[in-house]
């Protein structure tokens, strides 16, 4: 199962702690995914665990196990499973306790040894074995093809159990014993199962010629596939493990099965033994977790039945069954809808009956609500509900639903018969940059033909290609963009079919930062910044907006410049800094999947705060003879003046004027009644704020009010307290006092009217708010004693109020705290701003633990975080540090490598840690080991070897790990010219026997004439006047040239003999060096050297040579075809060239003279054509057709249809 998600390792399941008795075996297992595949290791008490006599390490797919045999008391401790890859690291710890008293914790069944598939001859015994762990001891049972095996099958089949081990023995196996066997282990904690296949070869097959075993396997698989697809084959009987899927009529059902196997199994779905094909209501696909899914849309009663997911490969066959039950709605219909079939231009009427005449119903066309219109008529008559679709077209071919207000549904399908035999799908989705192909087919030709997009006719040209072939019409849009989205329609005469065309952007964050940073305007206190959207790249991604951040020069943390989550324009004006300084700015692009790298604006910008009123004057009701205070908050410190009715106030015993940096306060003592209505104004450096004073006369202010008993009111810290007053005259004005002083109304104290009674609301209660409160009105008063209690405990006692968390850049950072109650809901903040779950941060809750996980933390994520609930909070400081050094200090960050064309080029670098995994890239694309490039690792050295470098291999390479990289520039130069241009590559020299013969050539540098070296040992070197006797490499009796013949599909062996056993040789084919691979094998035995070509084909024919010490032995390999099993195509091989226009389809047809069972192969310029999106080969009887869609100039070639040694050729020429 491939859970690849291109990221750091992640635990899907973690090892579980348990207690085991001395002498027993224990297995710790966990399931880990990651891309690249992680390296997994185990540790005990911080010491690595190595595989040995008592410790067994095993891997089964993405499940990793550590088995400890014969446990001792010293094996108790903490075990850690650690997983690493090039992107990150993850680990999970588990405690194991070995108990001498034999008490053992419960554990679900798990396999220590799974059964394996076997193959036996008819009459031989077959045995499946397995070992199962678990506590209590699991019960083990075996089944074949879903049927449980037991006493009725004895003595032919026998099950043997010995503790953890179980075996299934089949005596004298017969062909009908072949199939899939499953072992099931169960205990009260759960179950586990495993399957294996048995293949029984008949005597006839065993006695056949070599290679017949493979043929029988292929035939066996083909028969099974045909049986799986055959209609009318009864399903295998459901076993006890059959699942049940219950769905309400009109809803969707999703059935899935997960199948593994090598080779990858072929999987199909059947219903009651009949093959399920994709259609309007049935969708078959493979999801991201490799589950094979059948989705049944808008279920009807006819969908009830047994659905079987059957998988088969060369080894065997298995299946999984699901019983689908379609339940009637809670309020059923008296009469359901019936399927209809009408012709185009006619009307279709659906009718059903609801339970009650008053029941309301709505009509839907699949997921779209329908309303009464010229197209649709909706009628109600008693309990009958009718929908009429007028002027039916191909687009009306769909599923229709009638749904009541109670949620009950009834479903029917409308089939439209017309000239369109293949319609456009309801919706077409492609990725940005891909090619979209729209294809329709008519029963009979009809015109005129048009393709429309958003009601506008499309014309061929540019990225649009329109073609037609007979009754088939195709529209192709290349390099799709988001602007291509809309409605695509095909119109032919009176026929019309449409599709909703969607272009999806890649589900990934912006890869590139914005561009072109500029400062458009600047004042003393503001700056206007502008930028351009990020470059599109190969696959454009959507941009939702931009984030602009600032920081003061010398500061560490960046802060956002705007209150909105992001900006939608590429221009932003920032003003209002809190203090003067030099500031840096940066911008990044964001979408729903993440954030792009940042783009910093060059230089720094000096800004000063702008003077403004932060908190203006507020009207406070004053009491005659009392005291009242007014305050103003400014953004920056500045001097100011107070004015009363235009007259400046001076500090005195009546007017107390105070200033605390940016806050200015005025206190008026013994307020006279004449100030009622007067204007109070504050002015500072050209800005002002003013109010009208309110002074209320207190009739009995001079009389001492009688004392009354105070009512006690309880309030918790940080909550609200409400004081209610009962007055005989509800219209009377009241005044609220605290400890004898009038309360100023504002955010803290608010006067309300609740149920006709005056009330005082005290917000965010603190300990200072405790005291005596009085409500005074017309000489009477009501007293309240406010008592403040401690707030309810939110966080656990052991929870620290502040923590510091450190994380490496690129890794995940987790902030966690513990609350006192599991049901407590918390809110997370960063630098005072509320956080919600997104692609960047994830909020988690488990029991009493609350976590905030910051994915791939970066410098911008550093700062102050807090977890708040019930007025209390826990704070965190997150520091993001640079990642560990990946590459060695002495490693250069950039290197240039030169290589001659045809030679190997090696790029190498050194990492700091030997276990570091690296990834190689060329021009930004990831590289993997192949026949062209080889990735090597030796200690701390990492190498990339480019074989036989060519001009196309030149470019930029990089080795990357942990967010760091080393780059290389590879230049490939032409090899130096050795021989002079006028030097012939081949010459013939004649000499009489006994005379000297001189062979010469001229180099390109010094015009020196050199003698040429003949194969004989007698040589005269003309320039150096020395005689050289070459070392004898090959045995004297070895021929210098041999011819080897081999049948296609058989193995071909080329061999020669060297003079010395230690001689190393190199094999070449047509001048190209060969190495051992799945195709060729190089062997050496004593003085004999062999090259073995596996399953030789036509492409393997040619000239081979074995070379060593400047000498060589050559071979000519000819591949002959086996005798043809069928007649050759009846048409002649020579044909006139077939001329096809670019973007049209190439259709080639060959007909056999007689029926044949032999395979027909299509070739292009001698190379076999593989099936793809553009190449489709079909067969109908003895007629075979090759279709190449969207012809390109590169498709001009000679195409061949081959049967045995004979064939038919087609010359195809594509014109622009």
Task: Look at residues 550, 657, 667 and name the one whose alpha carbon lies nearest to residue 598.
Answer: 550
Structural domain contains residue 1010: no
Q: Which tens digits make up the pLDDT trace of 3-26? A: 444 577 888 887 776 777 788 888
Are residue 904 and residue 857 in the same domain, yes or no? no
- When pLDDT is cut at 50, 70 and 90, the band that residue 1156 belongs to is low
Q: For the chain, percent helix, then strand, then coil, each to nearest 5?
A: 5, 50, 45
What is the number of H-type helices and E-type strands within the chain? 2, 104
pLDDT above 70: residue 541: yes
Burial of 925: CB neighbours in 10 Å, binned 0-12, 13-18, 19+ = exposed
Within 13 Å of residue 468, how many CA atoms lie on the same side as its CB? 15
Express as a percent the part of the chain with pLDDT over 70: 86
Structural domain contains residue 518: no
Are residue 100 and residue 119 in the same domain, yes or no? no
Residue 629 contacts residue 744 (beta carbons within 8 Å) = yes
Under 8 Å CB-to-CB from 1002, ≥6 apart: which residues?
979, 980, 982, 983, 1008, 1009, 1010
Report pLDDT for 1135. 55
Are residue 400 and residue 424 in the same domain, yes or no? no
Q: What CATH number is attached to the domain comprising 543?
A: 2.60.40.10
Are residue 777 and residue 815 in the same domain, yes or no? no
Describe the strand order of the beta sheet including 833-835 as a list of residue ranges. 802-808, 872-881, 863-869, 827-830, 833-835
Residue 1119 contacts residue 1195 (beta carbons within 8 Å) = no
Calpha distance 255→242 (Å, rounded): 12
Q: How far is CA 330 from the centre of its chain?
A: 39
pLDDT above 50: residue 733: yes
Report pLDDT for 364. 93
Q: Which tens digits make up the pLDDT trace of 969-1002? A: 999 888 765 455 555 656 666 655 545 566 666 5
**Residue that has been written with the tokens 């009546």 in this structure:** 654
Calpha distance 20→76 (Å, rounded): 9
Are residue 760 and residue 854 in the same domain, yes or no? no
Average pLDDT, stretch 608-631? 84
Q: Which tens digits make up the pLDDT trace of 406-418? A: 889 999 999 888 8
Average pLDDT, the chain: 81
**Least confident piece of the model among 114-123, 617-626, 776-785, 1017-1026:** 1017-1026
Residue 79 contacts residue 66 (beta carbons within 8 Å) = yes
pLDDT above 80: residue 1024: no
Residue 819 contacts residue 850 (beta carbons within 8 Å) = yes
Are residue 300 and residue 372 in the same domain, yes or no? no
Domain around 400: 340-413
- When pLDDT is cut at 50, 70 and 90, the band that residue 1157 belongs to is low
Calpha distance 354→74 (Å, rounded): 74
Structural domain contains residue 1130: no
Report pLDDT for 802. 86
Are residue 123 and residue 201 in the same domain, yes or no? yes
Q: Which tens digits make up the pLDDT trace of 552-578? A: 988 888 999 998 888 999 999 998 787
Are residue 906 and residue 964 in the same domain, yes or no? yes
Within 13 Å of residue 2, how many CA atoms lie on the same side as its CB? 11
Report pLDDT for 239. 42
- 637 versus 42: the higher-pLDDT residue is 42
Task: Look at residues 948, 944, 954, 957 and name the one whose alpha carbon lies nearest to residue 907.
Answer: 944
Give, as one character, the DSSP assignment of residue 1181: T
Residue 306 contacts residue 239 (beta carbons within 8 Å) = no
**Residue that has been written with the tokens 């021989």 in this structure:** 979
Residue 50 contacts residue 101 (beta carbons within 8 Å) = no
Structural domain contains residue 700: no
Residue 272 contacts residue 247 (beta carbons within 8 Å) = no
Report pLDDT for 379. 92
Last residue of a domain, one of 171, 206, 241: 206
Describe the strand order of the beta sheet including 1066-1069 as a list of residue ranges. 1041-1047, 1111-1120, 1102-1108, 1066-1069, 1072-1073
Report pLDDT for 2. 47
Last residue of a domain, one of 413, 439, 470: 413
Are residue 464 and residue 546 in the same domain, yes or no? no
**Count of domains forming the chain:** 12
Residue 801 contacts residue 818 (beta carbons within 8 Å) = no
DSSP-assigned beta bridge partners for residue 736:
775
Structural domain contains residue 1127: no
Report pLDDT for 728. 66
- When pLDDT is cut at 50, 70 and 90, the band that residue 315 belongs to is low
Under 8 Å CB-to-CB from 760, ≥6 apart: which residues?
722, 723, 725, 736, 743, 749, 750, 751, 752, 773, 775
Report pLDDT for 991. 56
Structural domain contains residue 895: no
Average pLDDT, stretch 604-616? 86
Q: Which tens digits make up the pLDDT trace of 1097-1148? A: 888 888 999 998 888 889 888 888 765 544 444 444 445 788 888 888 898 8
Global pTM reads: 0.32
Task: Look at residues 153, 326, 306 and name the one whose alpha carbon lies nearest to residue 236.
Answer: 306
Q: Which tens digits make up the pLDDT trace of 328-355? A: 888 889 899 999 999 888 999 999 999 8
Report pLDDT for 731. 67
Are residue 1094 and residue 1142 in the same domain, yes or no? no
Are residue 50 and residue 78 in the same domain, yes or no? yes
Q: What phi and psi values does residue 333 have, to the nearest 5 degrees?
A: -85, 145
Structural domain contains residue 565: yes
Structural domain contains residue 213: no
Are residue 27 and residue 85 in the same domain, yes or no? yes
Pairing mode, if any, of strands 165-170 and 157-162? Answer: antiparallel
Average pLDDT, stretch 67-77? 85
């Amino acid at each position: 199962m491939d859970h690849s998600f291109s990221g750091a390792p992640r635990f899907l399941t973690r090892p579980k702690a348990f207690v085991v008795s001395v002498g027993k075996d224990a297995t710790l297992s966990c399931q880990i995914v990651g891309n690249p595949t992680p390296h997994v290791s185990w540790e005990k008490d911080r010491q690595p665990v190595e595989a040995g006599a008592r410790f067994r390490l095993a891997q089964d797919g993405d499940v990793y196990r550590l088995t400890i045999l014969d446990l001792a008391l010293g094996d108790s401790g903490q075990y850690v499973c650690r997983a690493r890859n090039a992107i990150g690291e993850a680990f999970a710890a588990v405690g194991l306790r070995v108990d001498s008293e034999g008490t053992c914790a419960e554990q679900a069944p798990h396999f220590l040894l799974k059964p394996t598939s076997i193959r036996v001859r008819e009459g031989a015994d077959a045995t499946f074995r397995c070992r199962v762990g678990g506590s209590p001891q699991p019960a083990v049972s075996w089944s074949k093809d879903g049927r449980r095996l037991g006493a009725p099958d004895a003595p032919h089949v026998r099950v043997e159990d010995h503790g953890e081990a179980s075996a299934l023995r089949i005596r004298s196996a017969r062909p009908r014993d072949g199939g899939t066997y499953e072992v099931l282990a169960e205990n009260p904690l759960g179950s586990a199962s495993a399957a294996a296949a048995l293949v029984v070869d008949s005597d006839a097959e065993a006695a056949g010629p070599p290679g017949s075993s493979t043929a029988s396997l292929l035939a066996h698989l083909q028969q099974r596939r045909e049986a799986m697809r055959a209609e009318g084959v009864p399903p295998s009987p459901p076993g006890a493990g059959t699942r049940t899927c219950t769905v309400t009529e009109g809803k969707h059902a999703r059935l899935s099965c997960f199948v593994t196997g090598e080779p990858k199994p072929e999987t199909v779905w059947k219903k009651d033994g009949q093959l399920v094909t994709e259609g309007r209501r049935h969708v078959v696909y493979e999801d991201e977790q490799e589950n094979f899914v059948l989705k049944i849309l808008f279920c009807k009663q006819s969908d009830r039945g047994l659905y079987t997911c059957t998988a088969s490969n060369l080894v065997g066959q298995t299946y999984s069954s699901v019983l689908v039950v379609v339940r009637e709605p809670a309020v059923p219909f008296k009469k359901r809808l019936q399927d209809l079939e009408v012709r185009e231009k006619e009307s279709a009427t659906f009718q059903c009956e609801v339970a009650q005449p008053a029941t309301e119903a709505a009509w839907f066309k699949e997921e779209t609500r329908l309303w009464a219109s010229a197209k649709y008529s909706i009628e109600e008559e008693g309990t009958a509900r009718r929908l009429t679709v007028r002027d039916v077209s191909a687009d009306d071919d769909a599923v229709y639903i009638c749904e009541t207000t109670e949620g009950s549904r009834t479903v029917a399908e409308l089939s439209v018969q017309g000239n369109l035999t293949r319609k456009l799908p309801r919706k077409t989705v492609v990725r940005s940059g891909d090619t979209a192909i729209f294809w329709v087919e008519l029963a009979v030709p009809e015109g005129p033909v048009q393709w429309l997009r958003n009601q506008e006719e499309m014309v061929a040209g540019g990225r649009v290609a329109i073609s037609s072939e007979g009754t088939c019409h195709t529209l192709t849009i290349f390099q799709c963009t988001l602007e291509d989205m809309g409605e695509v329609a095909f119109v032919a005469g009176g026929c019309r079919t449409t599709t909703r065309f969607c272009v999806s952007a890649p589900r990934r964050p912006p890869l590139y930062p914005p561009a072109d940073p500029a400062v458009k305007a600047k004042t003393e206190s503001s700056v206007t910044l502008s930028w351009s959207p990020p470059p599109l790249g190969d696959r454009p991604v959507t941009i939702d907006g931009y984030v602009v951040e600032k920081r003061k020069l010398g500061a560490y943390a960046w802060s956002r410049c705007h209150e909105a989550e992001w900006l939608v324009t590429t221009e932003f004006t920032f003003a209002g800094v809190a203090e003067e300084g030099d500031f840096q700015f940066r911008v990044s692009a964001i979408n729903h999947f993440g954030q792009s790298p940042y783009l910093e604006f060059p230089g720094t910008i000096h800004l000063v705060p702008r003077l403004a009123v932060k908190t203006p004057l507020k009207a406070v009701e004053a009491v005659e003879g009392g005291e009242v205070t007014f305050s103003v908050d400014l953004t920056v410190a500045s001097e100011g003046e107070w004015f009363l009715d235009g007259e400046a106030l001076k500090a005195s015993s009546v007017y107390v004027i105070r200033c605390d940096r940016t806050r200015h306060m005025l206190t008026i003592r013994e307020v006279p009644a004449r100030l009622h209505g007067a204007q109070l104004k504050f002015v500072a450096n050209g800005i002002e704020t003013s109010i009208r004073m309110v002074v209320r006369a207190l009739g009995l202010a001079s009389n001492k009010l009688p004392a009354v008993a105070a009512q006690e009111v309880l309030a918790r810290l940080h909550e609200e307290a409400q004081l209610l007053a009962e007055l005989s005259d509800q219209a009377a004005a009241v005044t609220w006092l605290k400890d004898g002083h009038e309360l100023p109304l504002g955010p803290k104290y608010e006067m309300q009217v609740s149920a006709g009674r005056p009330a005082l609301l005290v917000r965010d209660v603190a300990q200072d708010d405790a005291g005596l409160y009085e409500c005074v009105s017309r000489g009477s008063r009501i007293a309240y004693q406010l008592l403040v209690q401690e707030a309810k405990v939110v966080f656990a006692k052991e929870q620290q109020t502040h923590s510091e968390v450190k994380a490496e850049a690129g890794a995940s950072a987790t902030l966690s705290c513990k609350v006192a109650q599991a049901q407590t809901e918390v809110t997370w903040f960063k630098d005072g701003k509320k956080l919600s779950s997104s692609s960047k941060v994830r909020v988690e809750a488990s029991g009493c633990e609350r976590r905030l996980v910051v994915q791939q933390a970066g410098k911008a994520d550093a700062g102050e975080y807090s977890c708040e609930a019930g007025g209390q909070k826990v704070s965190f400081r997150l520091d993001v540090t640079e990642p560990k050094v990946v590459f060695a200090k002495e490693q250069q960050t950039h290197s240039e490598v030169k290589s001659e064309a045809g030679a190997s080029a090696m790029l190498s670098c050194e990492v700091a840690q030997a276990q570091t995994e690296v990834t190689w890239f060329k021009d930004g694309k990831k590289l993997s080991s192949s026949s062209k490039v080889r990735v090597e690792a030796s200690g701390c050295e990492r190498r990339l070897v480019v074989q036989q470098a060519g001009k196309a291999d030149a470019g930029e390479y990089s080795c990357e790990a942990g967010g760091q990289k080393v780059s290389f520039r590879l230049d490939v130069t032409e090899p130096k010219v050795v021989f002079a241009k006028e030097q012939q590559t081949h010459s013939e020299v004649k000499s009489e026997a006994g005379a000297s013969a001189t062979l010469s050539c001229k180099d390109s540098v010094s015009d020196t004439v050199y003698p040429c070296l003949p194969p004989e040992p007698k040589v005269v070197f003309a320039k150096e006047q020395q005689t050289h006797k070459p070392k004898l490499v090959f045995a004297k009796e070895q021929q210098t040239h041999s011819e080897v013949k081999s049948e296609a599909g058989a193995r071909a062996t080329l061999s020669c003999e060297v003079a010395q056993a230690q001689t190393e040789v190199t094999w070449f084919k047509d001048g190209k060096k060969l190495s051992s691979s799945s195709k060729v094998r190089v062997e050496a035995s004593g003085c004999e050297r062999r090259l073995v070509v596996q399953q030789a084909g036509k492409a393997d024919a040619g000239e081979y040579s074995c070379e060593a010490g400047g000498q060589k032995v050559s071979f000519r390999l000819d591949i002959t075809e086996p005798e043809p099993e069928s007649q050759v195509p009846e048409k002649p091989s020579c044909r006139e060239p077939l001329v096809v226009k670019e973007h049209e389809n190439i259709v080639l047809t060959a007909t056999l003279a007689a029926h044949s069972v032999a395979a027909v192969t299509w070739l292009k310029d001698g190379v076999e054509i593989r099936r793809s999106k553009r190449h489709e080969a079909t067969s109908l009887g003895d007629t075979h057709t090759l279709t190449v869609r969207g012809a390109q100039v590169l498709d001009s070639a000679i195409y061949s249809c081959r049967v045995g040694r004979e064939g038919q050729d087609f010359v195809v020429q594509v014109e622009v």
